[in-house]
């Protein structure tokens, strides 16, 4: 494996050095992650409050979810997090093609995650377990407030899924740049920033999985 | 911050992923058992351990500028503030007849 | 004239795609003033309807829309971006000796977010309008006409503008200060913007998710805030005020920063208690997250939470009073010059103290239950928002105008504008305190005949404010067209932005400054 040096990255005019530019970018992305936490947090707070108010509804709601699919998606996202981290690792070592391969695997994991989500969603919509006004599931044993559980289910997984999609678009952008050999030991800031975003998406799923699929 | 160019050894990444997978199995396993009121606490505890691993190693917080950790914890802190006040309100409110 | 940021490139495209923080600041200025005009027209129309009792000018439903548009436009499109995005963008990099903000592209994106958000919000005008008030309280906002969703989505998009500006400023302050400038050599306006940015980053996302849920509620009936489906409408208020109370400090903190600059410059004296003012900015930002429940004393939240919030709210008075005392102490034995900016700064002090003290009155739970949703509350927050923020915007505009455009304005007419705005403001809003005590409820298009005389006084006052701002507008246009050339430092100020040309060159400084002394060293 030959080590390929990245094409020289030009530091923007208002920065004194590449280090300063990189530090600024990382501070920016961490602040952005903080806003993401608070945005998802609103849903988590709502979930916690209603779960305590209506424990039965949440218990019954979770029985419609297949924990095996949830667990599969958890594993997929965790693996994708590793490959994302590895793509940075190989970029730091100057091994461009390995770095690119890791990005491709990460993107593939994103597709698997969304595919599983599609299977789950279509199954539920088929049963009539749709959000809000479109809820049409009628069984005699169904609790009256069941739609509320599915409101949370769709809002939380929907917002999360949209972040996975956004992450996939960004990773695709990284792949293009990586093929053009833009990254190397001296410059890999975009890899790090998108990586941090991707890990946050993983982190949120780590909480969503037990909260939605494994209610007791 | 020169530490931002720190390279984490490959075997640490592999170990962290293994730990995360083991913890995922554990999450599913404890969900099958009943610990009463501790159910939620155990599930959230395991999730938090997993989240911490991701933060420290995958997201490099262990090696990076500690300001990032402060930013992250600030976000979590204000989330807890939002939750506590809302929860306190709902618990101490005069119970009304819910439609459900 | 030498090459500067204004004449360096020409054409509309060079403005719409500019990455220069100064030009983006000017774009914000034009945007904010346009919306201010629009929101002001709605305010004048409301006061006209309230000139006499009975239905005079418009029907009740139309009045409710005027009220909503006035509130939503003034809050989301005028005072939230007013000082941080307009003056902050222009002067934050200049004051810390940087060439630009940390992320110029994101800076431009945030302006487009504001424009797109505002356009989306104004689309509601074509869909039966909106009559919820700017707070969108559930369950009414779930059931009322379809225009609501446009304003809600517009506010959601404008929220991103606010978040991105805040994020940019925090990174800029951390990473781009000139050599030798530690945190305690930063001007106080920068401290105020930094504190504001913290609130913008922490609070706005919660508004974003709340508005998304409200949209989902309207489109799909998900029931999280709908009591009919088991949701809790009071929870909406919790989420809303978790953002919107800190947002009140997004509006006032930067104004306080402007005032710190004005008072020290025109007293020609080092600011008294620099660290106290700096820390009180951060203190206000921190406390702001623990007090939101004082908007909800009569909303149906638990009495216990009400008592708790009432106590914590009193704490806001501490850092605020620290600032006011320090400003007064700065003026003590200073060589005060009452130029227009200083007049506005003193107007701010006078009006803001009234607004602040009535705020403490309203924080008292029992008193608030009495005057809740009366004109007392309306008068209180206009004393803070208009008497505070708007006075600071006007003061800051006249202070920095020579730097921004390299022209001097007519001092005489600028002073006239101050007299009109200041007197008109008091004539408009002081009677509203009394009306509130008498029990006149807010947000109605009509009132009992007993309230008529004070309402007429109030409406006459609104004309004076309107005239005052027409004069401001006239002064600005006249100065742009025919103003004398401004020197680099017309006021003898010492912060960094005055050490470069007026107007500044593209990269702000011909030589990157090195800071060797404190920000307000007049020796």
Residue C185 Cα, gap to closest chain B Cα (Å): 21
What is the pLDDT, as a whole number, of residue C126? Answer: 82
Q: Is the pLDDT confidence value at C459 over 80? A: yes
The set of chains that have 3 or more CB pairs under 8 A with A is B, C
Residue written as tokens 């029985």? A63
Interface with A, mutate which of B5, B20, B25 (most A CBs under 10 A): B20
pLDDT in tens, B77-95: 999 999 999 999 998 887 6
pLDDT in tens, C362-399: 999 999 999 999 999 999 999 999 999 999 999 999 99
B7 touches chain A (CB under 8 A): yes
Entry field: residues in chain A: 216
C245 touches chain B (CB under 8 A): no
Q: Which domain holds residue B43?
A: 2-92
Identify any residues that bridge with C485 across adjacent strands, giving them in sequence order.
C407
pLDDT in tens, C187-235: 999 999 999 999 999 999 999 999 999 999 999 999 899 988 888 999 9
Residue boundaries of the structural domains of chain A: 19-213
Residue C202 Cα, gap to closest chain B Cα (Å): 7
pLDDT in tens, C342-369: 999 999 999 999 999 999 999 999 999 9
Select from B78, B93, B99 the Cβ nearest to the Cβ of C227.
B99
Fold assignment, C12-499: Cytochrome C Oxidase; Chain A (1.20.210)
Which residues does chain B have within 8 Å of residue A214's beta carbon, measured at their own beta carbons? 27-28, 31, 43
Find the radius of gyration of the CA atoms of chain A: 21
Mean pLDDT of C249-263: 96
CB A78 to CB B74 under 8 A?
A: no
| Residue C132: count of CB within 10 angstroms of its CB | 24
Nearest CA in chain B to A143: B100
What is the pLDDT, as a whole number, of residue B98? Answer: 58
What is the pLDDT, as a whole number, of residue B2? Answer: 42
Tokens of A150: 């599915």
Task: Tell whether B97 is covered by a domain.
Answer: no
Cα–Cα distance for residue pair B83/A49, rounded to 1 Å: 8
Identify any residues that bridge with A131 across adjacent strands, giving them in sequence order.
none
Give the phi and the psi of residue C5 in degrees, each rounded to 5: -65, -25
What is the pLDDT, as a whole number, of residue B96? Answer: 63
Q: What is A112-162 written as a DSSP string?
A: HHHHHHHHHHHHHHHHT--SGGG-----TT--TTHHHHHHHHHHHHHHHHH
Interacting residues of C170 by C-beta distance below 8 A, sequence separation 6+: A27, A31, C194, C197, C198, C201
| Residue C24: count of CB within 10 angstroms of its CB | 24
Mean pLDDT of C447-459: 95
Q: Is the pLDDT confidence value at B99 over 70? A: no
CA dist list (Å): C487 to A90, C15, C498, C503 = 56, 25, 10, 9
- What residues of chain B, 1 to 60, have a C-beta less than 8 Å from chain C? none
Cα dihedral across residues A32, A37, A40, A42: positive or negative? negative
Residue B2 Cα, gap to closest chain C Cα (Å): 15
Q: What is A39-67 written as a DSSP string?
A: HHHHHHHHHHHHHHH-HHHHHHHHTTS-H
Interface with B, mutate which of A78, A99, A200 (most B CBs under 10 A): A78
Half-sphere exposure in the Cβ direction for C258 (13 Å, CA): 33
Residue A159 Cα, gap to closest chain B Cα (Å): 18
Give the phi and the psi of residue C179 in degrees, each rounded to 5: -60, 135
Q: Which helix (H) or strand (E) holds C313?
A: helix C303-314
Task: Tell whether B66 is covered by a domain.
Answer: yes
Cα–Cα distance for residue pair C307/C305, rounded to 1 Å: 5
B97 touches chain C (CB under 8 A): no
| Band of pLDDT at residue C291, cut at 50, 70 and 90 | very high
Q: pLDDT above 90 covers what percent of chain C?
A: 86
Tokens of C137: 């309280």
Q: Is the pLDDT confidence value at C325 over 50? A: yes
| Angle CA C138–C165–A183, to nearest 5 | 120
Q: Is the pLDDT confidence value at C480 over 60? A: yes
Nearest CA in chain C to A45: C239
CB C230 to CB A145 under 8 A?
A: yes
| Mean pLDDT value across chain C | 94
C300 touches chain B (CB under 8 A): yes
Cα–Cα distance for residue pair C447/C459, rounded to 1 Å: 14
Half-sphere exposure in the Cβ direction for C461 (13 Å, CA): 18
Task: Quote the DSSP letter at residue C79.
Answer: I
Mean pLDDT by 10 residues, chain A (216 residues): 56 88 95 96 94 90 92 96 95 93 97 96 91 82 86 96 97 95 92 96 96 88
Residue A199 Cα, gap to closest chain B Cα (Å): 7
B4 touches chain A (CB under 8 A): yes
Q: Considering its fold, how many domains does chain B have in total?
A: 1
Tokens of A119: 């299977």
HEC per residue, C87-124: HHHHHHHHHCCCCCCCCHHHHHHHHHHHHHHHHHHHHH
Select from B4, B10, B43 the Cβ nearest to the Cβ of A214.
B43
Half-sphere exposure in the Cβ direction for C206 (13 Å, CA): 33
Residue A189 Cα, gap to closest chain C Cα (Å): 14
Please give the CATH number for the structural domain made up of A19-213.
Answer: 1.20.120.80
What is the pLDDT, as a whole number, of residue C519? Answer: 87
Nearest CA in chain B to C307: B89
Residue A15 Cα, gap to closest chain C Cα (Å): 8
Which residues does chain B have within 8 Å of residue A31's beta carbon, measured at their own beta carbons? 71
Interface with C, mutate which of A15, A28, A135, A160 (most C CBs under 10 A): A28
What is the pLDDT, as a whole number, of residue A4? Answer: 47
What is the pLDDT, as a whole number, of residue C365? Answer: 93
Q: What is A150-213 written as a DSSP string?
A: HHHHHHHHHHHHHHHHHHHHHHHHHHHHHHTT--BTTB-HHHHHHHHHHHHHHHHHHHHHHHHH
Task: Tell whether B13 is covered by a domain.
Answer: yes
The set of chains that have 3 or more CB pairs under 8 A with C is A, B
C235 touches chain B (CB under 8 A): yes
Which residues does chain C have within 8 Å of residue B92's beta carbon, measured at their own beta carbons? 302-305
Q: Is the pLDDT confidence value at C523 over 80? A: no
Identify any residues that bridge with C407 across adjacent strands, giving them in sequence order.
C485
Segments in C86-232 forming alpha helices (H): 89-95, 104-123, 140-143, 148-175, 188-220
Tokens of C168: 């940019």
| Angle CA C303–C305–C308, to nearest 5 | 110
Residue written as tokens 């408009």? C428
Nearest CA in chain A to C172: A24
Residue C442 Cα, gap to closest chain A Cα (Å): 30
Cα–Cα distance for residue pair C205/C163, rounded to 1 Å: 8
What is the pLDDT, as a whole number, of residue A142? Answer: 78
Interface with C, mutate which of A29, A30, A132, A154 (most C CBs under 10 A): A132
What is the pLDDT, as a whole number, of residue C473? Answer: 95
Cα–Cα distance for residue pair C38/C33, rounded to 1 Å: 9
CB B92 to CB C242 under 8 A?
A: no
**Coil/strand/helix, residue C407:** strand
Which residues does chain C have within 8 Å of residue A44's beta carbon, measured at their own beta carbons? none
**Coil/strand/helix, residue C189:** helix
Give the phi and the psi of residue C485 in degrees, each rounded to 5: -65, 135
What is the pLDDT, as a whole number, of residue C78? Answer: 95
Q: Is the pLDDT confidence value at B100 over 70? A: no
What is the pLDDT, as a whole number, of residue C371? Answer: 94
| Band of pLDDT at residue C493, cut at 50, 70 and 90 | very high
Q: Is the pLDDT confidence value at C23 over 90? A: yes
Cα–Cα distance for residue pair C302/B90, rounded to 1 Å: 7
What ipTM is given for this predicted complex?
Answer: 0.94
CA dist list (Å): A65 to A209, B33, C238 = 11, 18, 31
C305 touches chain B (CB under 8 A): yes
Residue written as tokens 């900016």? C341
pTM more than 0.90: yes
Task: Quote the DSSP letter at residue C77.
Answer: I
Residue written as tokens 């990284």? A174
Nearest to C303 by CA among C240, C366, C361: C366
Q: Is the pLDDT confidence value at C306 over 90? A: yes
Cα–Cα distance for residue pair C478/A198, rounded to 1 Å: 53
pLDDT in tens, C134-172: 999 988 999 887 788 999 999 999 999 999 999 999 999
Residue boundaries of the structural domains of chain C: 12-499
Mean pLDDT of C408-423: 96
CB C222 to CB A131 under 8 A?
A: yes
Mean pLDDT of B29-39: 85
CA dist list (Å): A50 to A44, A66, A143, B90, C348 = 10, 22, 15, 10, 45
**Cβ atoms C292, C245 nearer than 8 A:** yes
Cα–Cα distance for residue pair B32/B46, rounded to 1 Å: 15
What is the pLDDT, as a whole number, of residue B4? Answer: 54
């Amino acid at each position: 494996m030959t080590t390929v040096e990245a094409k020289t990255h030009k530091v923007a005019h208002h920065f004194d050095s590449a280090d300063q530019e990189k530090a600024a970018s990382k501070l920016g992305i961490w602040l952005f992650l903080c806003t993401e936490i608070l945005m998802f947090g609103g849903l988590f707070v709502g979930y916690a409050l209603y779960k305590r108010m209506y424990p039965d509804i949440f218990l019954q709601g979770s029985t419609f979810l297949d924990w095996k699919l949830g667990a599969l998606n958890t594993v997929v996202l965790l693996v994708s997090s590793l490959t994302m981290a590895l793509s940075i690792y190989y970029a730091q070592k100057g091994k461009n093609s390995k770095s690119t391969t890791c990005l491709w695997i990460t993107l593939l994991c994103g597709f698997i995650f969304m595919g599983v989500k599609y299977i789950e969603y279509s199954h539920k919509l088929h049963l009539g377990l749709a959000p809000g006004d479109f809820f049409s599931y009628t069984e005699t044993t169904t609790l009256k407030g069941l739609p509320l559980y599915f409101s949370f289910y769709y809002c939380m997984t929907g917002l999360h899924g949209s972040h996975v999609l956004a992450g996939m678009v960004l990773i695709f952008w990284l792949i293009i740049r990586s093929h053009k050999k833009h990254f190397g030991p001296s410059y890999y800031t975009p890899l790090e920033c998108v990586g941090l975003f991707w890990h946050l998406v993983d982190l949120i799923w780590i909480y969503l999985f037990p909260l939605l699929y494994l209610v007791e | 911050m020169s530490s931002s160019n720190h390279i984490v050894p490959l075997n640490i990444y592999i170990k962290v992923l293994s730990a995360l997978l083991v913890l995922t199995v554990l999450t599913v396993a404890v969900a099958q058992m009943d610990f009463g009121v501790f159910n939620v606490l155990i599930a959230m505890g395991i999730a938090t351990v997993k989240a911490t691993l991701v933060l420290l190693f995958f997201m490099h917080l262990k090696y990076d500028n500690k300001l990032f950790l402060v930013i992250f914890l600030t976000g979590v802190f204000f989330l807890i503030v939002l939750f506590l006040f809302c929860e306190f309100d709902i618990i101490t409110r005069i119970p009304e007849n819910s439609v459900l | 004239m030498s090459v500067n940021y204004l004449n360096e490139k020409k054409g509309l495209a060079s403005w719409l795609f500019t990455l220069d923080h100064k030009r983006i600041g000017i774009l914000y200025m034009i945007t904010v003033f346009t919306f201010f005009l629009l929101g002001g027209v709605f305010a004048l129309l409301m006061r006209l309807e309230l000139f006499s009792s009975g239905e005079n000018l418009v029907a009740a439903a139309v009045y409710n829309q005027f009220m909503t548009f006035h509130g939503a436009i003034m809050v989301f499109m005028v005072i939230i971006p007013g000082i941080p995005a307009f003056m902050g963008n222009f002067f934050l990099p200049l004051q810390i000796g940087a060439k630009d903000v940390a992320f110029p592209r994101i800076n431009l994106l945030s302006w487009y977010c504001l424009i797109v958000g505002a356009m989306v919000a104004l689309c509601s005008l074509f869909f039966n309008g909106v009559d919820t008030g700017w707070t969108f309280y559930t369950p009414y906002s779930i059931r009322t006409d379809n225009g609501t969703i446009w304003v809600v989505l517009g506010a959601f998009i404008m929220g991103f503008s606010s978040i991105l500006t805040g994020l940019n400023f925090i990174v800029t302050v951390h990473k781009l200060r000139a050599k030798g400038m530690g945190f305690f050599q930063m001007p106080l306006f920068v401290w105020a913007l930094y504190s504001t940015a913290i609130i913008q980053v922490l609070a706005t996302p919660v508004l974003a998710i709340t508005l998304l849920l409200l949209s989902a509620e309207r489109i799909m009936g998900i029931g999280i805030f709908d009591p009919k489906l088991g949701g809790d409408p009071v929870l909406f208020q919790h989420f809303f005020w978790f953002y919107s109370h800190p947002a009140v400090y997004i509006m006032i903190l930067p104004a306080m920063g402007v005032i710190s600059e004005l008072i020290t410059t025109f007293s020609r004296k080092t600011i008294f208690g620099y660290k106290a003012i700096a820390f009180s900015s951060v203190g206000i930002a921190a406390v702001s997250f623990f007090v939101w429940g004082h908007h909800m004393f009569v909303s149906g939240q638990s009495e216990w939470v009400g008592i708790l919030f009432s106590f914590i709210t009193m704490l806001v008075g501490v850092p605020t009073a620290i600032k006011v005392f320090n400003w007064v102490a700065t003026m003590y034995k200073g060589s005060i010059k009452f130029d227009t900016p200083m007049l506005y700064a003193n107007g701010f002090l006078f009006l803001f103290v009234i607004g602040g003290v009535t705020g403490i009155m309203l924080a008292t739970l029992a008193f608030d239950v009495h005057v809740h949703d009366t004109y007392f509350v309306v008068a209180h927050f206009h004393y803070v928002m208009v008497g505070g923020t708007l006075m600071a915007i006007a003061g800051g505009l006249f202070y920095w105008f020579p730097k921004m455009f390299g022209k001097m304005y007519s001092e005489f007419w600028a002073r006239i504008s101050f007299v009109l705005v200041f007197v008109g403001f008091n004539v408009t809003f002081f009677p509203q305190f009394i009306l509130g005590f008498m029990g006149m409820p807010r947000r109605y298009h009509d009132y009992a005949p007993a309230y008529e005389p004070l309402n007429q006084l109030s409406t006459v006052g609104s004309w004076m404010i309107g005239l005052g701002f027409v004069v401001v507008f006239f002064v600005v246009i006249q100065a742009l067209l025919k103003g004398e050339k401004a020197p680099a430092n017309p006021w003898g100020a010492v912060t960094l932005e005055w050490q470069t040309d007026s107007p500044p060159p593209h990269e702000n400084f011909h030589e990157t400054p090195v800071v060797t002394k404190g920000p307000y060293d007049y020796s």
